[in-house]
Chains A and B, each alone.
Chain A
Amino acid sequence: MSDTVELLGLAAGFVAAGTAVGVVIGIPTRSEWLPTLLGVAPAVGIAVCGLAATLGAMVGLNVGLVTTAVLVIATVALGWGVARRRPAGVEALRAPRPSLPAVAIELAFAPLYAALAYGIVRLAAATPLDTWDGWAIWAPKAHALYAEGDVWGPVFREPTYAMQHQEYPVLLPSVDALAADAIGRFDANLVDIGQAMILLSFGLAAWALLRLVVAPPLAAAIGFALTGSTSLIANVDANYADTAVASFTAIGVLSLLLWLVRGPSTMLVLSALFLTTAALTKSEGLLFAVAAIVSAAVLARGFGRSLTAVGSFAAAVLALPIAWAIVDRLNGPGAKNVDVAILVHPSRFAAASDRIPTAASRLVEEIGQGWSLQLALVGLGIGAACLTREWWPALFVGVWGLLGLAALVTVYFLGTAPIDWHLGTSADRVVFSIVLAGATASPALVGLAWERIDEARARAPDR
């Protein structure tokens, strides 16, 4: 069998796992819900399989297709036993019933998306592994997980490998190790296929989730437009992890917004799943997940949601990252990328404080110059929501974005590397999550605004 067939088989496995999990968490299988179920299935499947493989690697099980499949099947069976006694989780959401022209426009995006997917995967398979983080950090971990099966081998423990950032979480290498297991070898040229799958699954999930709150053609267009971002694709080809963490963060924040606005428990579970995955992809993902938890906790009452639900959500999101922190500690002291002691030493705090405006201005500059269209979408989304008095959703997006930005600035502030070098090697990439999540959530704000406009038009006296 060729690599293509085997990787397609892996993708089919992800979709099957995602579909099963989607049904268990309450997405109906009725025809009007199928686009939602099948649209989120790839992202859910990659997330669930990635988390299962990561957990397996942490407890010393072999990260392979068989182990992962067994873990996922066990999880689905367990979930099914719990979920079948509960009502459907999407009760507060309506599956759209678009008109024929709307269906036609939406369907027109399917071949476009397929062409984009084909191009992204072929490019990922052709690009050599020659960018620093790609070959120096992520690929060696994927290779080690494929060859040794867990995180207790020398690559994750010995000081000779400390420069490979042993403290970085291993979800992405686990997904890449699954791809290596599918083709039966570790291939440095194919290692970024996992990242490509994640980006493509993001676009489909954004499309599927957004069509619950905006006109389906607009949902399709935004999923397609965001997936086709040059910078995101280039990051995939370099075997970086930023596109992956941004993809999971974006659909996690969108699911959380949908839960806050409408209250369906399925969206809260989806959000927990995606944000956990982001948190186990890269340390920034954990910061963005915490920013989402804090935003939800602060604003939950405004949406009429309970803090208990937010507390359960927070526990679900943080459990595995905490487990990874313990494993990392057991494996050795790790690298010291940030120095939190700066916070409690006034003199050191003062000495480092000029890093704050430097980092903040550089990050804002990266967002403004590199992502003007996405930034405009966020501005218009928040503007539309405010004009129609949808204050809470607008606040949620704004507060999460500001908290995420503040978290990034804090990392640069506490960083041990020279600030210019640190910013120069990472600032353009770490802003992906903020931009992508904002742009993915903004159509939901527009959808809510449009509902208010529609209601106002229905109430308005005939003139």
Chain B
Amino acid sequence: MNSMKFKTNSSKASLPSNAYFNAAQSFVKLRLAYALVITLSIFLSACGADSGAENLTKQNNNQADANSSDYKGPAAFSDDAQNFKRSLWDNIVLPGRCVECHSSDTENQSPLFADFANVNTAYTAANTIVNLNDPATSRMITKVENGHNCWLTSDSACVDILVRYIENWAGDSAGAATEIKLRAPQIKDPGATKTFPEDSSAFNTIIYEPILSKYCQTCHVEGIQTPYIASADIETAYNAAKSRIDLEVPAGSRLVGRLRNEFHNCWDGNCTTSSAEMEAAISTFVEGLTTESVDPDLVNSKALTLIGDGLVANAGGRFEDNIIALYEFKEGEGEDGLNITANDTSGIEPALNLSLSGNAEWVGGWGIKIGPAMTDPETNALLRNGKAQGSTSASAKLHDRIKATGEYTIETWVVPNNVSQEDARIITYSGSSESRNFTLSQSLYNYEVLHRSSTTDQNAVFATADADERLQASLQHVVVTFAPGQGRKIYVNGQFTGDVDPAEAGNFSEWDNSFAFVLGNETDGNSLWQGTIRMVAIHDRALNEAQITQNFEVGVGEKFFLLFSISHLIDSDDPNTADDFIVFQASQMDSFSYLFTEPYFISLNANPSLNNIPLKGLRLGINGKIAEVAQSFQTVDMVLDNSLYTNETGQPISRLGTLISLQKGGSEDEFFLSFEEIGSFTNVIVNAVPPSPAAPANSPAEPEIGLKTFDEVNASMSVMTGVASTDTKVKNTFDKVKQQLPSIENIGGFLSAHQMAITQLAIQYCDALVENTSLRSGFFPGFDFNENANTAFDTEGRDLIINPLLSKFIGSSLTSQPADADVITELNNLMDTLTSCANTTSCDAQRTGTTVKATCAAVLGSATTLVQ
């Protein structure tokens, strides 16, 4: 097959993907001299085609009926050859695919596994380039994997589709989990790296003085906010900053990302320049460091990269017999960073490929992230709410197939950004916000399923129970099934939620084939869901519980086995043979880290000799340094021993997993293991004693006085008046104003509302005091409360009131209290006002009591009570 492809003509960009595909089909019809008029110019180049004509034939299942029906050669000579034809050949003879070269009536390139003249010739040839026991290792697959004429823009998408065809050919073995055979990687030592110097002076002059101490000292110092990167003590600041500086990729430093990506307290109001300044400083700091060999004190394994040295660990095992659309998002953004197509790799034609638009981006470890409208920080272009949407005509595949079976399954791996979004469409097959065939959406902690059937309207809602809080902002496997007689069921992480569909299960006679399939939003872009989608599969049957569990347990994303050689550290047999390994399963967790899980020891030698070999303090290293964060295996303390070892599973080390921050990417980041003790090697790590924190800066002087708080005010008034706080009226008033009284002592927090509450309470206490003849005679001895007000408050009467108030409320000989003369003057003025009555009616004895209460309250409710 030569390297030509169909050149994109001017009409291609304007055609929907299915039109492009169908146009390609029409080309083959022309090539085969069938009568069909096409109007656009065609450029032929190997396994790709393009024309502008809409084709006529709708593809069915994974068989290219339109082409196979054109086949005029001999019939398949065996059942297996027939399986080959139906599962693989019919698909690769589609226009633009392998048939363009590997057929005797085209380029006649060997092997002729797509021979359109004779399917039996093709069958014989295909058998030389496929491995039915392990389809992914077939020569046909690895060839395409390495860039050989994929008919799509993504090699990985072609690989997945071809693997699926071969699996279907293999029949019973399709979908079965395959055993991964471990093999030794290339043996290499951890590379040289840069490390932080002991001396903090370079950090001080390049990063600390010009930036950290200047801009971060308001918060990031002792006693206020960790990390103490701006501590007055340079060593404290240096130690705190180390884990936030990436010596390999300065731009990846947390100190930079916090400014650039999270807009955290940038200076001069500009995060772009702030982050650039920080990055430049770190780059300068890094440039001043010399590359050094890995710390010679470390006891290390050999080194590995994830993608170069890892063994692919995806062993298959998913149940996908009825899959009709599949998105694994392996394509990524492509080398040019411009790929916006998520391919449907189900192998079911027509491919329902999705176009990413707005704030939708690829994430590492396979997936897409959907975000809200924003301004692109690089181009300043306005990005709308993100989504990934297929064409309506390709989406009709879902309508046709699901309507035919009357069942469906929506299966996805998602990571919701948060648990606060509502009416957020994760997966929808709909026409508008009000009309749909089916929708999976998020409402706070719940998954919701809306769908249309003969027994419902087109928005029948079914959700997980509020109290269960099924939806979490973490990676979750979510499955929705529908089957007649069962209705909708929701499964989260392999478990049926137990929620019962309130709608009667109907059929899909009302479904609309003009709707579009969309991820992360509604067709109108107004029901954004924020989060990451790692996989989506649509099945035209309802998966049963076992199948769902099976798929959940397979997991999601690309996984590898990393075999870290430790043969040079232990002697299980021949020390010259690299066959002793600690194996991790590793994958890219998201765009920012790797996941390392379930380490175990294994020897590729069938009979290793393991005799109580100590293994202690296992740490993960990356790019020549021990990772600073998330060392979950450093507490490992065990021995490797034959009694704990089997040839099949080795010896487990831990069931845990941990994360390592991504630095350069899966192809470049180099990992190794380090040990405190292994075999006869030791590297004792002593816990460092942290430097004593610098004394915090002095704070402004605070007032020496403060307010009494609510209970103190109440208790004080009780003590001062002699009225019990349990007095019914007093208690009722206190309960009413309690939360209006000061609750903290800070005198700066005094409010007028506080004073009003204090006054109310003071009046109530004075009222209780004066109304109680026993109490008042004890408090105001000699004062006649039965005398009229206009005569009771003569000089002697006033003394009988004011003097007890002075002695019992204010105290004597206290310079911190108001001077007696001042108080007396004020109280006399008050009594003058209150007793200026003209006749005996208005100046009766009741007014006398009232005047005493008011005078009492004026003192009791004053600062003499309130301030302490």
Chains A and B come from one and the same complex: no
A binding-site residues for B, Cβ under 8 Å: none
B binding-site residues for A, Cβ under 8 Å: none
